[in-house]
Amino acid sequence: MKNKFRQHIEKTTSLTDEEFDFVFSHFKRKQIDKKQCIIKKGKPVENVYWVLKGLMKASYLDLNGKQHIIQFAMEDWWITDYQAFINKEKATIDVSCLETSEVLVLSFSDREKMCSESQKMANFFRIKSNASNAALQKRVLTLLSSNSEERYNELLSEHPKLLQRVPKHLIASYLGLSRETLSRLSVKKRIDVKI
Amino acid sequence: MKNKFRQHIEKTTSLTDEEFDFVFSHFKRKQIDKKQCIIKKGKPVENVYWVLKGLMKASYLDLNGKQHIIQFAMEDWWITDYQAFINKEKATIDVSCLETSEVLVLSFSDREKMCSESQKMANFFRIKSNASNAALQKRVLTLLSSNSEERYNELLSEHPKLLQRVPKHLIASYLGLSRETLSRLSVKKRIDVKI
DNA sequence: CGCGCGATTGAGTAATTTCAAATCTAGTGG
DNA sequence: CCACTAGATTTGAAATTACTCAATCGCGCG
């Protein structure tokens, strides 16, 4: 497990054994039950989470009571309400657990401490933040330029596992379409494939 | 002008006179003509730009030749193709000038140098990156949860000046709707106001 | 076995796009 | 200063896309 996490970090930034032990000492391991909520709208956001095993979602309830999915997080992904986490504000979104999960937990103060003592880790989080920016920008472009079918196909080709693991109505929320439309798209897809 | 820029930085991070002079020495001032393109798809992205005066846009041409607006940048805003700038990749978007503009130009290497020598400026750019994340996330939520009229009204209330300065068809591209729909919304708005 | 949630299907409706044409406007050259 | 043009905006009508509502289906779990 420690090894898996180290691999994750070292995809971006190589570390000596001592450096990794220093980094790792700031994290706590935690099990999260299915349906459990780790960040609730209106509450402080203490931590950022790295998913070792399982599946989480970050979602927003709009004024009409509709749920919108901001992101999923599978193995190897980070998740929190960044806006609230960084600025010590109250959460504006919920983060909860779709499958029983194991995560590594990092508190705000531990993250700050780690970054001030390790240039490499400050750099790591900077790169992660930039990658997140790029991903969000790509998502904006997709929402601006693609219709439902194109968005569905894009997700299908980029994250086929999500489609299998996540209830369809949540996939619909993530793509910005109704569950009925998504259902029709998946039927169409199956027929298209046969032909 | 120097003063305006200093105010911008100090909204986030306070600096001594010496620190500011150090920071400022890394920037070059430049005038950009209307319609001039400062970042072209496929070319390297050397710089990030801070708009002192004028108006720029970052846009993407999709496979059907439709233009989509990723962001505008008015006075006091930063703009570049961050993905390409940070990772030294070729640009995937275009950045061009809607009004004759004056900008401060910062190259990648000067930015790195500045950040490695000044903890404060590293912090400044980290905060900017986080703010950008938050803004993009908000935009995703808006695109997921609001219809055209709500998106139009949101832009109208948050950036009324943009509506006045930017050609309407570009506003439509930014909001993800056709120029005809935007035109109908603005007519409706004028009638609603009268009633 | 039956309940309940998620997924599917059908029908009708609403929102938005597309295409085509008419106006309007700012900038240019004479 | 005026006429002219290219680009931008508006308008109408038809076509398309996606949504909503309602009903049904299917499956896992107690």
Instruction: Return the pLDDT at A195.
Output: 55
Q: Count each helix (H run) and each strand (E run) in chain A, helices first.
A: 9, 6
Place of tokens 């986080």: B130
User: Protein footprint on strand D: which nucleotides are under 7 Å from a CB?
Assistant: 8-13, 17-22
- Distance in Å from C6's C1' to B125's CA comes to 45
- Distance in Å from C9's C1' to A37's CA comes to 34
Q: Which residues of A touch B83 (CB under 8 A)?
A: 130, 133-134, 137
CB pairs under 8 A between A and B: 75
- Distance in Å from D8's C1' to B176's CA comes to 18
Best A82, A144, A153, A175 member to test B by mutation, with max B CBs in 10 Å, is A144
Cβ separation B68–A145 shorter than 8 A: yes
pLDDT(A1) > 90: no
Buried b (16+ CB within 10 A) or exposed e, B140-174: bbbbbbeebeebbeebeeebeebeeebeeebbbbb
Q: What is the pLDDT of residues B18-52, one digit of tens each?
A: 999 999 999 999 999 988 999 999 999 999 999 99
Separation between Cα atoms, residue B103 and residue B122, nearest integer Å: 21
Min distance A126 CA to chain B CA atoms (Å): 7
What is the pairing mode between strands B67-73 and A37-39? unpaired
Indicate the helix (H) or strand (E) that contains B14. Answer: none
Of A51, A48, A132, the closest CA to residue B137 belongs to A132
> Phi and psi dihedrals of B32, rounded to 5?
-120, 130
Q: Which residues of A touch B143 (CB under 8 A)?
A: 140, 143-144, 176
pLDDT(B191) > 80: no
Tokens found for residue A53: 């095993």
Q: Which residues of A touch B117 (CB under 8 A)?
A: none
- The radius of gyration of chain B's CA atoms, rounded to the nearest angstrom, is 18
pTM over 0.95: no
Whole-number Cα distances in Å, A90 to A61, A93, B18, B127? 15, 9, 37, 18
Min distance B115 CA to chain A CA atoms (Å): 11
Cβ separation A144–B143 shorter than 8 A: yes
Separation between Cα atoms, residue A82 and residue A72, nearest integer Å: 14
Mean predicted confidence (pLDDT) in B119-123: 90
> Do the Cβ atoms of A45 and A91 come closer than 8 Å?
yes
Amino acid at A87: N
Cβ separation B70–A137 shorter than 8 A: yes
Q: Which residues of B touch A126 (CB under 8 A)?
A: 126, 129
A residues 105-164 closer than 8 Å to B (CB): 122, 126-127, 129-130, 132-134, 136-137, 139-141, 143-145
> Do the Cβ atoms of A68 and A127 come closer than 8 Å?
no
Q: What angle do CA B135, A123, A119 make, to 5 degrees?
A: 135
Instruction: Return the pLDDT at B3.
Output: 92
Mean predicted confidence (pLDDT) in A139-162: 95
- Distance in Å from C19's C1' to A2's CA comes to 60
Chain A nearest-CA residue for B126: A126
Amino acid at A33: D
Separation between Cα atoms, residue B173 and residue B180, nearest integer Å: 11
Q: What is the pLDDT of residues A49-60, one digit of tens each?
A: 999 999 999 999
Helices marked H in B25-167 — which ranges?
Answer: 82-87, 108-117, 119-145, 148-158, 160-165
Q: Which residues pair with A60 in a beta bridge?
A: A68
> Do the Cβ atoms of A120 and A13 come closer than 8 Å?
yes
Provide the mean pLDDT of chain B.
93
Separation between Cα atoms, residue A147 and residue A144, nearest integer Å: 9
What is the pairing mode between strands A78-79 and B37-39? unpaired
Is any Cβ of chain B less than 8 angstroms from the Cβ of A88? Answer: no
Instruction: Return the pLDDT at B65.
Output: 87
